[in-house]
């Protein structure tokens, strides 16, 4: 059982995750001058957030992410590969409670607050022991049935007239 557990350890590993909020200031379709002004506004929001302003309130008031702004910019919990690379790199590099510098993505300027990082965890052997035992039993039974079936088939091919004796 321990060998089976070790061989399939990745099946019992939950990936690292981050619970974060963000404020998005969109830049799509904006002129360079507008982008500079938007970046300056984003820098100001970073200062306010780091100075102790309520991040959720700032997100409700200033974020242009219509899906998350009403919830204080709450993105929930996400793993790697679920966000655009620039956003993901920043979020996973941060600590609990930390507020990012301005992060630029294809969507615009983001300010990220990591609420909580959830490290990768491996479910302990004892917690999956019963599942491993059940799987091993099923696997051994299936193999025994396959071997018996092959053996009976070979005997029938050798002696088709003795099917009744073979069946017994």
> pLDDT (tens digit, 9 = 90+) per residue, 55-104?
999 999 999 999 999 999 999 999 999 999 999 999 999 999 999 999 99
Q: Residue 118: name the closest of 13, 16, 14 by CA.
A: 16
pLDDT number for residue 156: 84
Task: Please give, one letter per residue, the 3-state secondary structure of 38-104.
Answer: HHHHHHHHHHHHHCCCCHHHHHHHHCCCCCCHHHCCEEEEEECCCCCHHHHHHHHHCCCCCECCCEE
pLDDT number for residue 58: 97
Mean pLDDT throughout 12-28? 95
Q: What is the mean pLDDT of the chain?
A: 93
Percent of the chain's residues with pLDDT above 70:
100
pLDDT number for residue 105: 96
Percent of the chain's residues with pLDDT above 90:
71
The number of beta carbons lying within 10 Å of the beta carbon of residue 27 is 20
Mean pLDDT throughout 145-164? 86
**92 Cβ contact list (under 8 Å, min separation 6):** 16, 18, 80, 117
Banded pLDDT at 107 (limits 50, 70, 90): very high
26-30, 124-128, 143-147: least confidently modelled range: 124-128
CA dihedral 132, 138, 139, 144 (to 10 degrees): 150
Q: Residue 63: name the closest of 97, 96, 110 by CA.
A: 110
Mean pLDDT throughout 27-34? 94
Is the per-residue pLDDT at 153 higher than 90? Answer: no
The number of beta carbons lying within 10 Å of the beta carbon of residue 110 is 26
pLDDT number for residue 57: 97
């Amino acid at each position: 059982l321990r060998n089976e557990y070790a061989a399939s350890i990745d099946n019992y590993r939950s990936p690292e995750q981050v619970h974060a909020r963000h404020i998005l200031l969109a830049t799509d379709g904006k002129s360079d001058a507008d982008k500079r002004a938007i970046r300056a506004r984003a820098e100001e929001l970073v200062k306010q957030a780091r100075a102790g302003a309520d991040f959720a309130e700032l997100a409700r008031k200033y974020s242009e992410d219509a899906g998350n702004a009403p919830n204080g910019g709450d993105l929930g919990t996400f793993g790697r590969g679920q966000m655009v690379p620039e956003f993901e790199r920043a979020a996973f590099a941060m600590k609990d409670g930390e507020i990012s510098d301005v992060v630029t993505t294809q969507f615009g300027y983001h300010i990220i607050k990591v609420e909580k990082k959830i490290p990768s965890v491996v479910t302990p052997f004892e917690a999956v022991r019963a599942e491993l035992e059940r799987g091993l039993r099923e696997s051994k039974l299936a193999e025994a049935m396959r071997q018996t079936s092959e053996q009976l088939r070979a005997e029938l091919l050798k002696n088709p007239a003795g099917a009744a004796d073979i069946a017994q």
